[in-house]
């Protein structure tokens, strides 16, 4: 975000602060003391550490950096600064008790709200209030996939209630490709368009050849064909790095899949085993698995620039859409975000959210792997939160689009997510392009 580019009322900022915190607390309140710490795993955090870290981050930027305040508790940096505290040590630290953690979280939030007062916020002040809100939103997504990883029940308190009536979960599939003519395209965030992380800055011209992209993400039934055709055993479909990962993990199918006594595929959804939903996007597959599927299918992953062009290009103009469908804020008709269905829906759902190119669900439902490694755009300048992007350049792959857990206030066509190519615990799938 460029200073002074937008202004938001104090009441709206406070509403977002409270909403983010209520969501965080609702995600852990049903867990007992053992569950809220959890086992020591490389891909998850102890949740009692994670929720305190969220409050520490807010205190660090909205109170200490912005206002020059002293820490509420002197030891917080040594416990909850993720840049200082190695991941594997977080289970061994003298963390705040559960009661102390909740008290610390409440005190930080109260002080931030007090500092905001009744003033509209803009420029640097706004940036350092939005940054902790969006950081907390991203950790809520992480807490949700931690619950999936550890086999905890689906979230069920507060906002996590399934809607009544007919669900978009049964909208069927969408097949075929769209033709995208290519040409010059501005990749990245445009100055003055609102909040953007440093890795989105700034829009720069790229030239793309014409390409064909799938209208929808790859489905569970499509991926099952690859598995059933021996896709995990056939070396010709795997890159050298992919074969190494597959052999070291002994992967034979997506991580949460298994067969019942009759040989039918099931998948684990939090703590329950359910039958495959044939028209839902395949979920929890990593970059290597997506790449292998593409080789088997005679397809390829889209580049990051191709993905953004398909999502954001305005026909006959150099203008870019903020969302695939235009400038209207996301809602339940256009995208599966904000835990609306407590899981994915069919890839045919939300036709109102189609991009101008005709691609469906480029926002929400499932994160989509792209072919590219995560790196800086030309002229990259690091933001004050220097640990957000730069440490991960080079060895991570870019994902785009958001998932069913992603908060709608975070979403825009230029937002770049990034994970190492072996990660399949996150809410990730993919769509393909023709060779």
d(CA 189, CA 200): 5
Residue among 97, 17, 83 nearest 49 (CA): 97
Sign of the dihedral defined by the CA atoms of residues 404, 408, 409, 415, in that order: positive
- Using CA atoms, how far residue 378 sits from 209, 304, 313, 384, 398, in Å, is 21, 15, 20, 18, 16
Tokens of 71: 């820490």
d(CA 305, CA 180): 12
Helix orientation angle between 10-26 and 47-58, rounded to the nearest 10 degrees: 170
Q: What percent of the chain has pLDDT over 90?
A: 90
d(CA 279, CA 221): 7
- Using CA atoms, how far residue 363 sits from 332, 337, 360, 435, in Å, is 12, 8, 8, 24
Q: What are phi and psi of 211, to 5 degrees?
A: -150, 165
The pLDDT tens digits of the residues spanning 351-385 come to: 999 999 999 999 999 999 999 999 999 999 999 99
Say which range, 201-215, 236-250, 289-303, 307-321, has the weakest mean pLDDT. Answer: 307-321
- Phi/psi zone of residue 87: left (φ > 0), alpha (ψ -120 to 50 degrees), beta? alpha
More confident residue, 170 or 10: 10
Residue among 107, 130, 125, 108 nearest 13 (CA): 130
- What confidence score (pLDDT) does residue 158 get? 64
Q: Where are the alpha helices (DSSP H) in 76-231?
A: 76-80, 98-116, 123-149, 220-228
The pLDDT tens digits of the residues spanning 6-47 come to: 789 999 999 999 999 999 999 999 999 999 999 999 999 999
**Domains annotated on the chain, with CATH:** 7-149 (1.20.120.450), 167-435 (3.90.1580.10)
The pLDDT tens digits of the residues spanning 209-262 come to: 999 999 999 999 999 999 999 999 999 999 999 999 999 999 999 999 999 999
Q: What are phi and psi of 214, to 5 degrees?
A: -60, 140
- Using CA atoms, how far residue 232 sits from 143, 281, 292, 296, in Å, is 30, 19, 8, 10
Can you give the length of the chain in residues?
Answer: 435
Residue tagged 């890159």 (tokens): 239
At a CB cut-off of 8 Å and minimum separation 6, what does 256 contact?
Answer: 148, 267, 268, 269, 284
d(CA 150, CA 270): 8
Question: If pLDDT is split at 50, 70 and 90, which confidence band does 315 have?
Answer: confident
- What confidence score (pLDDT) does residue 162 get? 58
Assess contact for 59 and 66: CB atoms under 8 A: no
């Amino acid at each position: 975000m460029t200073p002074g580019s937008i202004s938001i009322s104090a009441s709206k900022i406070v509403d977002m602060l409270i909403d983010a915190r209520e969501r965080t607390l609702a995600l852990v309140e049903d867990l007992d003391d053992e569950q809220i710490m959890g086992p020591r795993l490389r891909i998850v955090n102890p949740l009692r550490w994670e929720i305190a870290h969220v409050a520490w981050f807010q205190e660090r930027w909205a109170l200490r950096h912005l206002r020059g305040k002293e820490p509420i508790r002197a030891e917080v940096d040594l416990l909850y600064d993720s840049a200082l505290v190695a991941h594997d040590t977080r289970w061994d630290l003298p963390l705040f008790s559960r009661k102390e953690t909740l008290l610390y979280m409440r005190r930080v939030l109260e002080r931030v709200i007090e500092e905001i007062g009744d003033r509209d916020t803009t420029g640097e002040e706004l940036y350092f209030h939005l940054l902790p809100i969006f950081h907390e939103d991203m950790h809520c997504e992480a807490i949700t996939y931690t619950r999936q990883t550890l086999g905890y029940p689906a979230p069920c308190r507060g906002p996590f209630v399934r809607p009544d009536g007919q669900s978009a979960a049964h909208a069927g599939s969408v097949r075929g490709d769209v033709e995208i003519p290519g040409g010059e395209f501005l990749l990245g965030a445009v100055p003055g368009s609102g909040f953007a992380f440093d890795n989105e800055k700034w829009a720069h011209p790229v030239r793309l050849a014409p390409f064909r992209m799938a209208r929808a993400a790859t489905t569970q039934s499509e991926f099952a064909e690859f598995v059933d055709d021996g896709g995990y055993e056939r070396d010709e479909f795997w890159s050298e790095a992919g074969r190494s990962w597959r052999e070291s993990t002994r992967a034979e199918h997506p991580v949460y899949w298994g067969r019942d006594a009759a040989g039918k595929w099931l998948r684990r959804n939090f703590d329950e085993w359910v039958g495959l939903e044939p028209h839902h996007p395949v979920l929890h597959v990593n970059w290597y698995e997506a790449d292998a599927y593409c080789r088997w299918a005679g397809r390829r992953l889209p580049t990051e620039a191709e993905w953004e062009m398909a999502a954001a290009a305005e026909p006959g103009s150099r203008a870019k859409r903020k969302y695939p469908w235009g400038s209207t804020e996301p809602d339940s008709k256009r995208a599966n975000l904000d835990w609306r269905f407590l899981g994915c829906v069919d890839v045919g759902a939300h036709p109102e959210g189609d991009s101008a190119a005709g691609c469906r669900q480029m926002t929400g439902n499932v994160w989509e792997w792209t072919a590219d490694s995560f790196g800086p755009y030309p002229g990259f300048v690091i933001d004050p939160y220097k640990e957000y992007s730069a440490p991960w350049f080079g060895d991570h792959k870019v994902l785009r689009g958001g998932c069913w857990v992603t908060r709608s206030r975070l979403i825009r066509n230029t937002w770049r997510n990034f994970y190492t190519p072996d990660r399949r615990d996150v809410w990730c799938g993919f769509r393909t392009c023709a060779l």
